[in-house]
Structure 1
């Protein structure tokens, strides 16, 4: 059973979330502030946290930072603030998603399910896209049962895109993630590696495609479930 932490100092919000999440079959653990949530995390295994930003004792930003430092599960920040600066701060401390109050419980459920699927895929040693299997432990790719060995950077680039289907990555993000902050080349390096990946898979499979998002970057689309 999936364990979800709900941290919010508003008892009515907690009651609503507990009712909504339990109806979907989740086990819910409540905390009235960040300190209480922090203590609870040392006692219970949690798979996802829904965290209010404005809480006494330890606010949601501080709690999110702590979760990122010591644990590995997704976080959704809930807040009445909808200013861009507040969202920027939320993502800078490591939140995975951001939902502004008031919100529809169904929307929160959609976001929770999407994050749980994403984390399950990211943390898996093998990423499966139709008949294509990307093995992050052995650095091998199997297409229709046949082994395909890729150069390291091409493999890492493919695995990064495949871990987050439909998510758009900018060229700058991919440089940081694959080549690192000390990389001295330019963003055209990404274009070259994407071109090579497309050529390698063009006549092998049609499980996925790597799309160019003009003026932004790239995303991987799954064409076969």
Structure 2
């Protein structure tokens, strides 16, 4: 069953783990660090907990291999509704699993066994990034990004972006006018632990261009040869 333990704290984390010993240990450590902790042991409980507490949650730590609904399916359901930060946690260390988790919307991925200090550091980074991005609005020319509403408009027309496309565009807009390498984009959007092909950046840039650089409009996303990409107003082609 879903449990809510501890006293009222600044940030609430939903911990989804079916192994009793690990769940109890992590819950205790997180509470010691000042977090309020909700726990669930199955995918069904996790989904119900998310629905009941989604406006209170700062982060979900989600084990991949849980009963009823696996972690990937739980994350897919959540991503249809909002961008709650999700850290995948699993004993599986295959590159393909990491790529699948990240491409389906995970903000980070940690492989068991891990040191608690590493987990806590990753949590701090994710929550800090969430607070920073939630208060930011960006505009470059007629392109507007509202981080809190998770909305992008070009010339007043709403662009429907996936989670990954939105994150990539947000990083480009945060660094508008500044060339970013593929490695820098990988680190900021896919995470420093991403070990897949770097051309994933090129793939998602193409997706963004199809939705942002609309026909008849001056392109905003430009290739910097030998470097990477830059987002800025310019009259010349890409």
* TM-score interval, normalised by the smaller of the two chains: 0.5 to 0.7
1:190 counterpart residue number: 222
Aligned residues: 177
Aligned pair partner of 1:61 in 72, 76, 84: 72
TM-score (norm 2): 0.62
SS at match of 2:52: coil
Distance 2:79 2:169 in 1: 25
Distance 2:74 2:170 in 1: 30
Aligned pair partner of 2:34 in 25, 43, 48: 25
Of structures 1 and 2, the larger Rg is shown by 1
Quote the offset at 1:5 in angstroms: 0.4
Distance 2:169 2:96 in 1: 32
1:15 counterpart residue number: 24
What is the root-mean-square deviation in Å for CA atoms of aligned residues?
3.5
TM superposition outliers: structure 1 runs of 4+ over 6 Å: 154-158, 181-184
Distance 2:172 2:208 in 1: 11
Show CA shifts across 1:9-65 (max 9, x none): 101111111111111110000001111111112222211000000011111001111
1:89 counterpart residue number: 100
Aligned pair partner of 2:91 in 80, 86, 104: 80
1:50 counterpart residue number: 61
Q: 1:15 to 1:86 in 2, by over 3 A?
A: same
Q: 1:7 to 1:159 in 2, by over 3 A?
A: closer
TM-score (norm 1): 0.66
Q: Which runs of 5+ in 1 are unaligned?
A: 127-134, 140-149, 193-211, 220-225
